[in-house]
Structure 1
Amino acid sequence: MNHNPELLIRFFPLMPNWLMIALIALAAILSIYAIVKGARGWIWRVSALTLFLLMLANPSLVEEIRETKPDTVLVVVDQSTSNQINNRDAETEKIRREIENKLGEAENINYRVITVADNPEDQGGTMLFGAIARGLSDIPKTHLGAVVLITDGQIHDVPVGQNELNGVPFHALLTGSPGEHDRRLKIIRSPGFGIVGQPQKITVHIEDDLNAESTVMLSLRSDGDVVQNQAIPAGRDVEIPLTINHAGPNIFELSIPKGASELSDENNHAVVTVNGVRDRLRVLLISGDPHPGTRVWRNFLKSDPSVDLVHFTILRPPEKQDSIPTEELSLIAFPTKELFEDKLYDFNLIIFDRYRRLSVLPNEYMLNIVEFVEKGGAVLDAEGPVPDVSLSLFDTPVGTILPTATAQKTIDAEFVPTLTGDGLRHPVTSGLPGLSKDNKTSKWGPWLRQMDAQIRRGTVIMDGAGNRPLLVLDRVGQGRVAQLFSDQIWLWARGYAGGGPHSELLRRLSHWLMKEPQLEENDLSAEVQGHTISITQRSLMQSDNNIVLTKPGNETEQVTLTEESPGLARTKINVTKTGVYRIANNKQTIMVGVGGLNPLEYSDLRSSKDKLNNFVESTNGSIRWISEDGIPDIRHLEGNRSLSGHRWIGVKKNNNYSITGIKQTAVIPPLAYLLLGSILLLLAWRKEGK
């Protein structure tokens, strides 16, 4: 800081300004009058009057002691992900140290350093200019001499249009080198959601700097498994088909192999998350003998907003013999061909409620139902008493996919449904309302009747009278089957002896049959909140609660889940890296995404002038690769000159100062006024005396 004196002449009148102006005006009138009249000695009188006015104006020499204010240089260091690859972080630190040393040696220059990193939580990329605005919040614009950017040039908030820091040069010192090569996979369009089971399309684009017209193998993975490999051309938009497999987030990972001499493979993969939504589920309910439970089924299914119900009741009992045609016994004709042949696969679930074998549904349609289940459909058989086992559903082709052999015996006895060991672990029955904390007792009311059955396969999750199987679940091919061996669930709905969780049980049962992910009995799932992954594992068997977590970059970690209840284990993991995490047990692999899955920061990793060039030129600044030009010197120059040159960058001189002191001295001493005035008046008197 310099202390430079500055001399100025200023007037300090001995009387108010208005009076001074009046006197000057009066003196001017008298002087003009004397000149016009040609009075003797007028020149001396006018001189004496002027001297008198000058004395009243009191001119003084003012000496200001000025302290020169230094100019500030803002040094902005890019620490984003793209500026850390290929040894750019070390190059950035070297440039920073040398620029700080040179600024520290320069006279009348202060500097401030700020660092900027990209935000892994969003897709924003490197927001360097937002950080500059925050860094300059307490620096007056008139004190800013220059902004020096140490970056790879991949900045995503470069101003367009008028620059608020008009006149301040921006100098960009680029890491990396010109002509770098990279291969990039970009997602152009992707659906945010899709109907489960229906195909969707995403549009991708591959850019290859070395070979713009090459063909690249694209791999598509879902839940850790490769579902598609396809060779696609670079340099154009290509549509890739995919299928939504389940409700909730479906994560698809696309990847391409690393090219020759490219910078990094960080942008050789991309992740797409499509939220799977289930279309309205269609249920076909076929009721046989009318009974109170029919209304329970109907009311439950009609109350579920996600279910479209088609309900038919077959009223003709088998023992009734008359000549009335079957098709005339319904209010409308039973559309058997339409339901069980033409539109069978439009349904997700078929429920047989106390169905008796009649000629209404011949074996041909029953075989269609078997095929329907094997290909992914579901059947629920709710049994009731039958006079003969040959009239039951078991004695049809559907019996081949049922997990039990129905006996003719009906047990008329009071019993309270209980959960089996598998039932305690299965999500259909685990934790049902009314169970005690240890799941051994319940507050449920009793049922009064049960049909006997012989287990052939499947999983028994509820027992009834005499520990006989009451509710059995099974998987057949790609579909599912359930059997309920009582028609007494309506007692719970009516609140008999306290009732029971009929609605919750039926909801879980029907949605398990229709493959609701949350009701899978052997399943691994995860949810993400911020940087916390919550992992849940369900299992019917006593299983190992250890899972393997694979982080971005293929680093693995063994994680142990905590068993919270039979068949249910959970844990939470805090992670730091952004990207796709794979979670695997010995049967299943799933993927979850943390943070921004396709960061803008990875869209282009090449060092480049393109984004900054126009802006820097508009500020009278410069842009250069340090690998070619070296680290420039610092020059402090007037702002009207060029502020960059070969191997140097300029800092604008703002010439700011503060006044630290003032010294005031009269131009003419008072005694000199008196002496000079006396001489002028004497000369005027002498001239008039002649």
Structure 2
Amino acid sequence: MMYKLGSILLSPVIPVWLIILCAILFAGLAWRTYAFCSLKYSERWILWSLRMLAFGILAFLLLQPSRRETRSELEKPVLAVLLDLSASMQDNPYAEKMTRADKALAFLKKSEVRKHLEAFRVLYFTAGSSLQEGLDLTTTPKFSEPSSLLAPAINQVAERLRAEPQAGILLLSDGLDQSNAWLEGRAQQIPVLIPELENPVLEERPLQQDFSIENIHYPRRAILQWEVKVEVTIRRRHGSTAQTFPVELLQNGSMLRKSEAVFRENENFRKVEFSFTAETLGNHLYQLSILPLQDADAGNNHREFVIDVTDARKRILYLEGTPRWEFKYLKRSLLAEKNQELNAFLQSGTGAFLNFSDTEHQEALSLPEFSPESLRDYSVVILGDLKADALKEKDYRVLTAFVEKGGALLFLAGTRTCSPDGVLSSPHFKELAPVFSLPGAQMREGRFSVDFTAAGRSQNAFSDLLSEVRLPPLLSFWGPVEASSFASVFLAAADGSAVLVGRRYGQGRTAVLLSDSLWRWQLGSEAGGGGKSLYGRFLTQLLQWLAPGLQSQNEEDSIQLLLPSREADLRAKISIGALCGKRVSGSGLACRILCPDASNLALPMLPAELGIEAGLPSPEAGFRCEFVPEQEGTYRLQVISKDGLASEEALLVVKKPALEFTGEAINRQWLQRLAKDTGGAMLPWLEAGKLLEKLPVKPRSVEIVREYS
């Protein structure tokens, strides 16, 4: 219980009545003690008073007194200034003396505006693709955000200032909101004040027609002698008449294909497709150009991109234990690949393997003996639904060495493969197995949705499959399992259960596909990517990850150059990684960069740990350097060893960031609706200095309490 005596507060540890009772008893007993002593009366009073003084100090401490001071202060209301930093703020479609960005900054510097701002506690925010708090007005902000998400930004400001006395929001924007959202309940209660950053045009002047390359869809990787498809989307602004113009596709500066873009009346988008055959290995630079006759901006009529062509000629050895559907469709899909040679064998009831390769080569009619010499001719070995005793102990040792030296091993799940006596559970494969079955593991049946994990999406080999809106469901998968410490889950069910797991082992790779119903992706799936079904494309990309090709990073005398992407934005930091084979010394490793203006850079490659950001499934020791491109165009990168005997090259296309230049006037209708719905105001530029006068200043009285104990 607390007692208040003026500005003094008492918070006794024990009840006050008990302290008073103790004082009376103590006083009586103390006087009684001295009453029977041979002391003078004055001496008795002195001694008794000292004892009572000691008790009084103790009682004072038990009362825990404190002093409280209370005073009132007036707190200024909060005014949030929200500045739009999207690139469209630099647009000037009507060629005024000041852009929208210039007017926004000039508004904050007006003397009458600064005077009115003194009555508020001003908090600055910036909006674009996200909301940021704080703004340094001593430097010129960069209006370079690729989008304008204004309504969500206003909602976030209202939420952040929930506990503050909000007077209003000062919005400096062109109103070209791209969020398709609107204000939530709380944000609608805060007045929004808007100065008009673009003068209305009395007589609307027609804007000049402009064609631009909106988007390009192309494979990051292509297979030698395969058909490659490139699809370009062309956009037209401020035009409506029918028009036809040429579209050109160049490869390394030479004409490759030519087509036409045919725009009908009032048509704003047109797609143009090119197809060609990848005939040479390596990184190839492609230039796409549109050549309209009437165009306002020729700077957006050209785009460059890089496609990495690899040799997918692989010999694949496939051993299957049972004649199941997976064997039928996987064999059919692999045999359809003209750049792959399949030797498929099915185990009979006696344990012998019968050839099902559909090949004319005599050497493929019988199962090759597992030896380093025989497996040297293969890139990938696939083990189907096999028991552990299907292979001899020597076979396990040879297969392990095969992977260690750069080979690829793929396990296909089945009731035999993953069982305790299956080939995946064999103790001989304990070191290289991507997963281990947990107690109670079985083939689960049902309908399971699947998708790529973050690790799967980071792999360039699967990039062509990421465009799928939704992967078909699976009807089964083996679980539960535990991935090994060096493995990554690339494909998972909705509950996080692993479906596709891969890992590095030595210089090679292993993977396990934990479903025996993936073959159903072949049924009823639409063809794509060169006429192949989703099932065929998935297998191709999986094998591409397992065995990257002739220019494999697993070669002992080679260097692998790693880039997060073959395209980059101007002035963005680029990280270049490299992995060296065992015979290549990392000492003195350097990266040479040939810039678009023919100048050269030489950067040392320093030891570093490379991971997912470099396209690797797990951290690995390598080398890295960084640089910031200052020019647009194509850069040629070369990582070279100190002795010059090993090197690797790549092309990097650097372009301006995709900015939000629309050429459109400010969205007055959106801004006026915003001001109306919030009870705010929108004034023309010439009257903008009076805008803050419409906002009432209502300071909040705040009571400040201080206590001294």
The two structures share one fold, judged by TM-score above 0.5: no
TM-score range, shorter chain: 0.3 to 0.5
TM-score by length of 2: 0.39
TM-score by length of 1: 0.40
Q: Which has the higher contact order (CA 8 A, sep 6+)?
A: 1
